[in-house]
């Protein structure tokens, strides 16, 4: 992998990740852009104890542009985009309309390929491995920023999810706090460790899932399963078998095997609802240990956390979506219409 960092016309950082070491990246952003000004602010809810990002400048972000005006495609002639070069393998750049900025963190866009009509599932294993390298590198770099406590790499796929740019891409949020969902995991981790005299909860969950009927696929270094208490109609958790706190902790064997496993998982997702159905909308989310202090979670260290990816769709059956209505949105109590055992069975049925 070759990494080349440059700057866009408004001062934002852009980084090329290339498969070839001899690739030269010297294209200049020719757009007449003024420096970006954001109004991102973090406010804490005193009743729930969580944080809300107020980012009114995002109202003006790009919204469903036609394909020939996509800002994530390479620059071609007079059609100028966020990527100055005429081609690329993987690109990461600071979001022009970030939810988090400055002392409130940082938001980046990850373009998986220059092919507008592709998807992550259509990448080669080599391309998918390069995306993993980019995620890992950004996790390392962002973790050293003084304002950053947790790094979250994720992909939103499909208009049903709320995606406004059709080009295959994901995002990275670098939060200045430990996110509420991670805090819940850490509290459960701490409570289980105390109650069992030191047993790791992630290890216990993984052992139980490996012995149950909800395993979707398993390789030498990875296992994917539908969790016992799945929140979403089709939800799969992907774990490395050797517990590590973040992407940086993966060894070479696990890194080499990841593209094959993950691409197979994504391709199965696209086959859940049968031939002729539109691509399955999904969210793919990496859960990594925070880089900040864990003092409030007594007895827990970063090494107790288990890196894993959660992949789920809001489509519950052909042509029907799972909406977060009263119970889910109002009380955070999920109601799942698809039994996890049936979801796992279906994901095994559609193996390639």
Q: Which amino acids are annotated catalytic?
A: 169
Q: Locate 96 and state its tokens.
A: 């022009």
Question: How would DSSP label each residue in 213-262?
Answer: TTEEEE-SSEEEE--TT-SSSEEEEEEESS--SSGGG--HHHHHHHHHHH
Q: Locate 78 and state its tokens.
A: 């007079």
Q: How far apart are CA 41 and CA 293, in angstroms?
A: 22
Bridge pairing between strands 282-287 and 308-313: antiparallel
Q: Locate 70 and state its tokens.
A: 């996509």
Bridge pairing between strands 150-157 and 282-287: antiparallel
Work out whether the CA dihedral 284, 328, 216, 302 comes out positive or negative. positive
Q: Report which of 266, 265, 311 is spatially closest to residue 285, judged by C-alpha positions.
A: 311
Residue showing tokens 């740019």: 165
Q: What are phi and psi of 174, to 5 degrees?
A: -110, 105
**Residue 165 neighbours by CB under 8 Å, 6+ apart:** 62, 64, 65, 70, 71, 72
Work out whether the CA dihedral 172, 174, 177, 183 comes out positive or negative. positive
Q: Report which of 343, 340, 338, 309 is spatially closest to residue 322, judged by C-alpha positions.
A: 338
H-helix or E-strand spanning residue 17? strand 13-18
Q: Locate 145 and state its tokens.
A: 């920023």
Q: Locate 76 and state its tokens.
A: 């071609």
């Amino acid at each position: 992998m070759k990494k080349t960092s440059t700057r866009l016309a408004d001062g934002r950082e852009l980084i090329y990740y290339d498969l070839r070491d001899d690739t030269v990246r010297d294209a200049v952003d020719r757009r007449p852009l003024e420096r970006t000004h954001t109004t991102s602010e973090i406010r804490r809810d005193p009743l729930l104890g969580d944080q809300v990002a107020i980012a009114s400048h995002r109202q003006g972000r790009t919204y469903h542009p036609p394909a020939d005006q996509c800002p994530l495609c390479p620059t071609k002639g007079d059609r100028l985009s966020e990527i100055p070069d005429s081609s690329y393998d993987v690109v990461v750049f600071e979001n022009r309309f970030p939810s988090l900025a400055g002392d409130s963190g940082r938001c980046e866009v990850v373009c998986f390929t220059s092919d507008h009509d592709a998807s992550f599932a259509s990448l080669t294993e080599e391309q998918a491995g390069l995306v993993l390298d980019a995620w890992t590198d950004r996790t390392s770099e962002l973790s050293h920023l003084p304002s950053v406590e947790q790094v979250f790499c994720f992909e939103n796929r499909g208009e049903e999810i709320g995606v406004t740019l059709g080009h295959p891409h994901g995002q990275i949020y670098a939060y200045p706090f430990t996110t509420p969902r991670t805090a819940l995991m850490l509290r459960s981790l701490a409570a289980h460790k105390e109650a069992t005299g030191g047993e790791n909860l992630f290890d216990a969950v993984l052992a139980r899932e490996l012995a149950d009927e909800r395993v979707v696929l398993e390789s030498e270094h990875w296992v994917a399963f539908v969790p016992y208490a799945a929140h979403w109609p089709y939800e799969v958790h992907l774990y490395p078998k050797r517990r590590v706190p973040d992407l940086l902790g993966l060894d070479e064997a696990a890194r080499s095997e990841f593209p094959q496993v993950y691409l197979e998982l994504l391709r199965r997702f696209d086959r859940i609802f049968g031939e002729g159905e539109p691509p399955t909308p999904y969210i793919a989310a990496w859960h990594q240990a925070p880089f900040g202090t864990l003092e409030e979670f007594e007895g827990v260290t970063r090494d107790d956390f288990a890196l894993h990816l959660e992949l789920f769709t809001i489509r519950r059956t052909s042509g029907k979506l799972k909406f977060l209505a009263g119970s889910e949105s109002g009380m955070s109590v999920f109601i799942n219409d698809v039994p996890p055992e049936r979801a796992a069975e279906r994901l095994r049925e559609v193996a390639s």
